[in-house]
Structure 1
Amino acid sequence: MTDTVTGSLSGSSGPAPASARVRFGRRQQRGLLLGLSPVRVACVAIAAVTITAAVFLAGVLGVLLVSPLWMGAIALAFVRHGERPLVEVLPTVGHYLARRVTGRNRFRASPDHPRPGGTMALPGEAAALRFLIDPASQTALVHDPHEATVTVVAHVEHTAYVLLSPDEQARRVSGWSRALAGLAASGRCRRLQVLDLAAPDTGEGIVGWWRGHRTATDTPFASEQYEELMTTRAPAAATHRTLVAVALEVPSRLLWARGTGTARGLELVRQEMSAFEAGLRAADLRLAEWLQARDLADVIRGAYDPLRASGTSVGSLRAAGPVAIDERWDRLDHDTGCSAVLWISEWPRIDVPADFLHALVFQPGVRKTLSITATPLSSRQAMRDIRRAKVEHVTDAAQKARIGAIADLADAAELDDVLDRERALINGHADMRFTGLIVITAGDDDELDAAVTQIERAAVQSGCETRRLLGQQARAFTAAALPLARRVD
Structure 2
Amino acid sequence: MASDYREPTYGNWRKPVSPGIGRLGLAGTLILMVGLIVVTMVAMVSPLASLITAAVLGLVMLPLVIQDQHGRTALQAITARVNWWWGRSQGWHLYRSGPLSIIPRGKHRLPGLLAASRLVEGRDSYGRPFALVVIPATKHYTVVFECNADGAALVDQEQVDTWVAHWGHWLASLGFEPGLVAASVTIETAPDLGHRLREEVTANTDPNAPALALAALEEIVWNYPVGSAKVSTRIAVTYAALPHPGGKRRDEAAMVREIGMRIPGLIAGLEMTGAGAARPMTAGQLARAVRVAYDPNSESGMEHAGDQDLLWDDAGPVATQEAWDHYVHDSGRSITWGMSEAPRGEVLSSVMSGLVAPHHDIARKRVTFLYRPHDPASAARIVERDRKDTRFRLDGGTGRARNEIDVMKSDQSAIEEARGAGVTRFTILVTATVHEAEQLPMAAAAVDTISAPARLRLRRMYGSQATAFAAGLPLGIVLPDHLNVPALVRESL
TM-score by shorter chain over 0.5: yes
TM superposition shift of 1:51: 7.4
SS of alignment partner, residue 128 of structure 1: coil
Contact 2:142–2:238 under 8 Å retained in 1: yes
TM superposition shift of 1:344: 1.7
1:98 aligned partner: 86
SS of alignment partner, residue 23 of structure 2: coil
2:216 aligned partner: none
2:352 aligned partner: 357
The 5-angstrom pairing of residues 199-218 of structure 1 reads 199-201=190-192
Give the stretch that moved more between structures: 306-315 or 188-197.
306-315
- How far apart are the structure 1 equivalents of 2:195 and 2:111? 36
SS of alignment partner, residue 308 of structure 1: helix
Q: For 1:336-371, what per-residue CA distance to the aligned partner results, in whole angstroms no more than 9, with x for missing partners?
A: 112111112222222222221111111421221000
2:408 aligned partner: 416
Change (3 A) 1:451 1:208: farther
TM superposition shift of 1:460: 0.6
TM superposition shift of 1:149: 2.4
- How far apart are the structure 2 equivalents of 1:140 and 1:116? 23
**Structure 2: gaps of 5 or more residues:** 214-219, 243-247, 481-493
- How far apart are the structure 2 equivalents of 1:177 and 1:67? 51
2:296 aligned partner: 306
- How far apart are the structure 1 equivalents of 2:60 and 2:115? 38
The 5-angstrom pairing of residues 254-403 of structure 1 reads 254-256=250-252, 262=253, 264-312=254-302, 315-365=310-360, 366=362, 367-400=364-397
TM superposition shift of 1:78: 3.6
Change (3 A) 1:46 1:174: closer
2:421 aligned partner: 429
Change (3 A) 1:66 1:399: closer
Contact 1:179–1:279 under 8 Å retained in 2: yes
- How far apart are the structure 1 equivalents of 2:274 and 2:37? 63
User: CA-atom RMSD, angstroms?
Assistant: 3.8
Contact 2:185–2:233 under 8 Å retained in 1: yes
Of 11, 20, 23, the match for 1:32 = 20
Q: Is it true that 1:108 corresponds to 2:108 in the alignment?
A: no
- How far apart are the structure 2 equivalents of 1:150 and 1:116? 26
Q: For 1:108-152, what per-residue CA distance to the aligned partner results, in whole angstroms no more than 9, with x for missing partners?
A: 1153655499x9822222222221111553311112233332111
- How far apart are the structure 2 equivalents of 1:291 and 1:94? 40
The 5-angstrom pairing of residues 126-165 of structure 1 reads 126-134=114-122, 136-165=127-156
Change (3 A) 1:408 1:292: same
Change (3 A) 1:216 1:113: closer
Change (3 A) 1:356 1:168: same
Q: For 1:162-200, what per-residue CA distance to the aligned partner results, in whole angstroms no more than 9, with x for missing partners?
A: 421011112222222222233322233221110001113
Letter in 1 for 2:162: R
Letter in 2 for 1:298: R
SS of alignment partner, residue 32 of structure 1: coil
Q: For 1:306-339, what per-residue CA distance to the aligned partner results, in whole angstroms no more than 9, with x for missing partners?
A: 1225132571111111221212222111111121
TM superposition shift of 1:245: 0.7
Change (3 A) 1:270 1:204: closer
Contact 1:18–1:167 under 8 Å retained in 2: no
Letter in 1 for 2:478: R
2:445 aligned partner: 453
Aligned residues: 446
Letter in 1 for 2:169: R
TM-score by length of 1: 0.80
TM superposition shift of 1:437: 0.7
Contact 2:142–2:476 under 8 Å retained in 1: yes
The alignment-based identity, stated in percent, is 22
**Structure 1: gaps of 5 or more residues:** 1-16, 218-226, 257-261
TM-score by length of 2: 0.79
Contact 1:162–1:355 under 8 Å retained in 2: no
SS of alignment partner, residue 439 of structure 1: strand
2:467 aligned partner: 475
